[in-house]
Amino acid sequence: MKHYDRRTFLRDLGVSAAMAPFLGGLPSLLGAETSSARKQRLIVMFSPNGTIPDEFWPDVSGDSLVFKRILEPLEAFRDRTLAVRGIANKIRGDGDGHMRGMSCLLTGTELLPGNIQGGGNTPAGWAGGISIDQELRNRLQGNDATRTRFGSLEFGVAVPDRADPWTRMSYAGANKPLAPISDPEQMLAKLYGDTKDKATLLGIVDGVKEDISRVARKLSAEDRVMLDEHLTLVREMEIELSQAGQKEVVHAVPEIDPSVELVNDNTPQLSRMQIDLLVSAMANDMTRVGTLQFMRSVGQARMHWLDVQEGHHGLSHEPDGNKDSREKLIRINRWFAGELAYLAQRLADTPEPGTDGSMLDHTLIIWLNELGKGNSHSLDDIPFVMVGGAPGIRMGRSLDLAKTKKNNKRDFLAHNRLWMSVAEAMGHPLEAFGNANLCGGGALDLS
User: What's the CATH number where 66 sits?
Assistant: 3.40.720.10
- Residue 369 C-beta-side C-alpha neighbours within 13 Å: 30
Residues 383 and 408 occupy one common structural domain: yes
Residue 292 sits in the same domain as residue 381: yes
Q: Crossing angle for the helix pair 267-283 and 221-244, nearest 10 degrees?
A: 160
Question: Within this chain, do residues 344 and 264 fall inside the same structural domain, yes or no?
Answer: yes
- 150 lies in which domain range? 42-182+252-438
* CB burial of residue 93 (10 Å; 0-12, 13-18, 19+): middle
Q: Are 220 and 263 in a shared domain?
A: no
Measure Cα distances from 366 to 50, 162, 337, 427 in Å. 15, 25, 11, 17
Q: Does residue 46 lie within any of the structural domains? A: yes
CA-nearest of 202, 151, 197, 198 to 178 is: 151
Distance of CA 295 to the CA centre of its chain: 12
CB 113 within 8 A of CB 124: yes
Q: Could you tell me which of 2, 3, 1 has the C-alpha nearest to residue 34? A: 3
CA 254 to CA 170: how far, in whole Å? 25
Q: Which of 198, 231, 249 is the last residue of a domain?
A: 249
Same domain, 211 and 168: no
Closest-CA residue to 186 (of 289, 282, 270):
270
Residue 137 and residue 93 in one domain: yes
How far apart (Å, rounded) are the C-alpha atoms in residues 198 and 277? Answer: 19
Does residue 445 lie within any of the structural domains? no
Domain end (from 249, 271, 298):
249
DSSP readout, 11-60?
HHHT--GGGHHHHTT-GGGS-HHHHHSPP-EEEEEE--S-B-GGGTS-SS
124 domain-assigned: yes
Amino acid at 423: A
d(CA 109, CA 169): 12
How do the pLDDT tens digits run along the chain, 447 residues long? Answer: 444 555 666 666 666 777 777 777 777 665 544 455 679 999 999 999 999 999 999 998 888 899 999 999 999 999 999 999 999 999 999 999 999 999 999 999 999 999 998 876 789 999 999 999 999 999 999 998 899 999 999 999 999 888 999 999 999 999 999 999 999 989 998 998 765 544 444 567 777 777 777 777 778 888 888 788 878 878 787 777 777 654 444 444 333 344 556 667 889 999 999 999 999 999 989 999 999 999 999 999 999 999 999 999 999 999 999 999 999 999 999 999 999 999 999 999 999 987 889 999 999 999 999 999 999 999 999 999 999 999 999 999 999 999 887 778 899 999 999 999 999 999 999 999 999 999 999 999 999
Q: Are residues 401 and 280 in the same domain?
A: yes
Residues 411 and 291 in one domain: yes
Domain total in the chain:
2
Domain stop point among 219, 249, 279: 249
∠ CA 95-100-101, rounded to 5°: 145
